[in-house]
Amino acid sequence: MHKVAFITGSSKGIGKAITELLLSENYIVFGYSRTNTIRHQNFTFTRIDLSNLKEVKQLSFPKVGNAEVLLINNAATIGEIMPLHLKGHTGIINDYNLNIISPTILCALFISRFNQNKKLIINISSGASKNAIASWSTYCATKAALDRLTHVITEEKHRDLTVFSVSPAIVDTRMQAEIRDADVNLFPLLSKFTNYYNNNQLENTRTVAQKLLYIIQNRTKYHQNILSIRDIDIN
């Protein structure tokens, strides 16, 4: 039986790393993002702005027969790093659209489209879903919502569906670079995140991808649906 994966934010960071790893594992992969950096005979790219709900509502998943299917909701933004009252309304709306509304729509579409298939959803969460971090209001709130969405989908007991929300720890991605570029007057924890980088404490995307693959291949091993990459031992 062939395996098919649908991955948002496939052009960079964790999304790119897991896309490339799944391709090496003979998956057929469909990537969804604003740009593309991957060329492979088993990769199909769809250009889409997942913060634009008009575009999201037009998205459809292709027919894949009896394939085992995987959805990874990876695309996200940390948004403007500043206290909530300074954020613009448009930025707040975009953060929610990308981080929680689009993943919710894609989960619904995925479950409906592949009702008869064996399927897995992995929602990429964050430690910020459990920790209130000043100046990360929309990011913390939307990642917490993504965890709760994962719980609810599990409770609905859909046919042949497993769903996880996975926190990837602190990873060396463009988002971390954006955090380090924040205004210290607006983000009191700036030095903490700068030190993570300076002390080589950031996880690399390849390691995160390998641990995600381990979860995918060993899904029955996990009896909780909220997971942390830090707790995944692949040795």
Q: What is the pLDDT of residues 156-203, one digit of tens each?
A: 999 999 999 999 989 989 899 999 999 999 999 999 999 999 999 999
**Structure-block tokens of residue 122:** 């992995």
What topology does CATH give the domain 3-169+204-231?
A: Rossmann fold (3.40.50)
Number of residues that this document lists for the chain: 235
- Whole-number Å distance between alpha carbons of 191 and 197: 10
Q: Where are the domains of the chain?
A: 3-169+204-231
DSSP letter for 200, please: T
The per-residue pLDDT for 235 is 77
The per-residue pLDDT for 169 is 87
- The model's pLDDT over 118-158, given as tens digits with 9 standing for 90+, comes to 999 999 999 999 999 999 999 999 999 999 999 999 999 99
The per-residue pLDDT for 234 is 86
The model's pTM: 0.96
- Whole-number Å distance between alpha carbons of 232 and 150: 19
Residues with Cβ within 8 Å of 24's Cβ and at least 6 positions away in sequence, in order, are none
Average predicted confidence (pLDDT) for the chain: 96
Show the CA angle centred on residue 227, arms to residues 226 and 229, nearest 5°: 155
